[in-house]
Amino acid sequence: MSGVGIRRRGAAPRIGLAVRVVLAVLVSAVTLFPIYWMFAVAFSSRSELLGGTLRLWPTAPTWANFAGVFERFPVTTWVGNSVAIALTTSVITVTVNLLAGYAFAHLRFRGSTLLFLLALMTTTLPLQVIMVALFRLVTGLGLYGSYWAVILPTAGSAIGIFLARQFILGIPRDLIEAARLDGASNLRVFWRIVLPLSRPLLAVLFFLSVLNSWNDFAWPLIALKENRLFTLPIGLLYLQSQNGPDYGGTMAFALINVIPMVVVFLAAQRWFVQGFARSGLR
């Protein structure tokens, strides 16, 4: 009986592992199916899409939808606009978030706690609440209709400041205090100690900033008035308004918009997970 009991107890962890694996596979399949369906529609011919014969994968995959999108619309220009805006916004945002996070973590000044709480409270404000004030601001500064009208209002984020503060608080304070005793200024401490230890945090902040900027739709739609300045999300709306129900072209364009972010995430996945784990968000 004791041997049977031991075998049963040994089988229980294997059954639990099998159940978790099956659940993980099912959840992954449900999550990835929309992306798979985008691929299937994007590579399907117009006859399959309009004839009601669409299968889980097209019988004769074709690049016609991608070629048609590039022929009718300045997709290359829109991709360049999205890359330029996303990278510029991310560099400024990461810099602001890191410096603010370091200040809130290790500098003591009057009202720092209140200011930090006020910054976090801005996360509860939807864009629609401040859109009119933001539009008047960029118009008054003469930025309306330019890249900077999109870049500057989104540079810096309360979530990024919070993540930076939590991560930097996890850096041993003895290192910072020792540097200060040696006469290092706050800027030198940040540059020589905090920044080299914050590579996982940099990956998280950079990816989140690129993702938000890349997918931003509402504000660029208002701030950019010329076709040549459009980003990919606005270009997708423009495609739909010009062509009507062009499902193959729409899915092809959507893939062009999605794939770069998937590549960026896969490239920075290890740093991304470490950064979130060390920031206290699990």
CB distance 123 to 159 below 8 Å: yes
Cα gap 149→36, rounded to integer Å: 35
Asked if 154 and 201 sit in the same domain, the reply is yes
- pLDDT average, residue stretch 4-8: 52
Residues 8 and 123 in one domain: no
- The predicted-structure confidence for 240-258, as pLDDT tens digits, reads as follows 777 666 788 888 899 999 8
The answer on 144 and 241 residing in a single domain is yes
The rounded distance, in Å, linking the Cα atoms of 210 and 95 is 13
Say yes or no: 125 and 22 in one domain.
no
Residue recorded with tokens 């992954």: 28
**Residues 31 and 150 reside in one and the same domain:** no
8 has pLDDT over 60:
no
Residue 96: pLDDT band (50, 70, 90) is very high
221, 1 Cβ separation under 8 angstroms: no
pLDDT tens for 175-194 read 888 888 888 888 888 888 88
Mean per-residue pLDDT for 64-80?
Answer: 90
Q: Give this prediction's pTM.
A: 0.82
Total domain count, the chain? 2
Q: Above 70 in pLDDT, residue 204? A: yes
pLDDT above 70 covers a percentage of the chain that reads: 87
Q: Are residues 17 and 121 in the same domain?
A: no
Q: What is the CATH number of the domain that holds 240?
A: 1.10.3720.10
Q: Are residues 102 and 38 in the same domain?
A: no
Instruction: Indicate if 175 and 130 belong to the same structural domain.
Output: yes
Confidence bin at 170 (pLDDT 50/70/90): confident
Lowest model confidence (mean pLDDT) among 11-20, 70-79, 81-90: 11-20
CA dihedral 75, 223, 218, 28 (to 10 degrees): 40
pLDDT at 279: 56
What are the tens digits of pLDDT across the range 148-164?
999 988 877 888 888 88
Amino acid 282: pLDDT:
45
Confidence of residue 10 (pLDDT cuts 50, 70, 90): low
- Domain carrying residue 11: 2-42
- How many angstroms separate the Cα of 141 from the Cα of each of 49, 129, 225? 48, 20, 16
Q: Is residue 50 part of a domain?
A: no
The chain-wide mean pLDDT, for the chain, equals 83
Q: Is 95 found in the same domain as 37?
A: no
Same domain, 24 and 105: no
In single-letter form, the type of residue at position 100 comes to: A
Do 88 and 160 belong together in one domain?
Answer: yes
CB 156 within 8 A of CB 96: yes
Same domain, 201 and 249: yes
> Is residue 121 situated within a structural domain?
yes
Neighbours of 61 (CB within 10 A): 13
Q: How many CB atoms lie within 10 A of CB 67?
A: 12
